[in-house]
Amino acid sequence: MDMGRRQSTIQLVAIDMDGTLLDPAHKLTARAKQAIAQARALGVHIVLTSGRPVSGLAPFLQELGITGNDDYCIACNGGLVQRIGTRETVVEFPLSFDDFVYCEQVSRQLGVHFQALDGHRLYTTNQDISRYTVIDSHLSHVPLSYRRVQDMNPSMSFIKLMMIDEPDVLDAAITHLPAELTERFAVLKSAPFFLEVFDHRAGKGPSLQRLAEHLGIDRANVMAIGDQENDLTMLQFAGTSVAMGNAIDAVKAVARFETTPNTDEGVARAIERFVLA
């Protein structure tokens, strides 16, 4: 494990959730909580960054005590940055109802399941609801509704749209994505069974950059830790980038450092080395 020597004082640590901060049981370990508490005591901003909506981050923010007016989170893969204490929206990149209709049609043509999040509720247009949609609803603490497209309110907007299915089915569909979709939206996999569709301006990296500017923190003083494709842009932005030991190869290629997997306190070890040492 190459943990190197930190080059500057870390003022902000952006941490991915699933596969990174959370262990395989989707829990916070005692050591991770202690490391985060010690970093926060030094005045370091700990920013949870996730594909989950804010409701899916809320129980962990509460458990970590990250609940104040000077605390922030990056949700929906950068589609939303929220000031936690006041619930003020710092950054938001909504998708339109027309975007929803188009992506739903594409997913239907490709034979994969589809879901949409408006910040309050998760919607699926599939009568045979994907088990991954049910799991996502549970982990994100957001209610799930089946709706036909014609029964949706055309005034709605969405934080993100997703194509979801069994990994082999989804991978096959990805090879046939129409050029219009990839030109019109940012598209990436956040898990083997999730393909996320969102505004080109969004992403964990761009939103982390906007938040750092909002806080007056230089990128040299930002650290990011992640494991999946949706973490690449924030790792590229951060002055100190750390890949989890369980990260995909593309993440390890981009990150400057590598820590242990989420089964072996990877986040705690990285914070201890770069922030607390």
Question: What is the sign, positive or negative, of the torsion defined by CA atoms of 198, 124, 61, 223?
Answer: negative
Asked if 16 is an active-site residue, the reply is yes
Render the burial of 95-119: b for 16+ CB within 10 Å, e for the rest.
Answer: bebebbebbbebbeebebbbbbbbb
Instruction: Using the structure block, give the residue that is written with the tokens 């006041």.
Output: 86
**List 16, 165, 199, 231, catalytic entry:** 16
Write the DSSP symbol of residue 275.
I
Sign of CA dihedral 190, 142, 207, 275: negative
Q: What is the DSSP letter of 21?
A: I
Alpha-carbon span 78 to 236, nearest angstrom: 14
Q: Which two tokens stand for residue 72?
A: 């922030």
As a whole number of angstroms, the distance between CA 29 and CA 33 comes to 6
Question: Which of the residues are catalytic?
Answer: 16
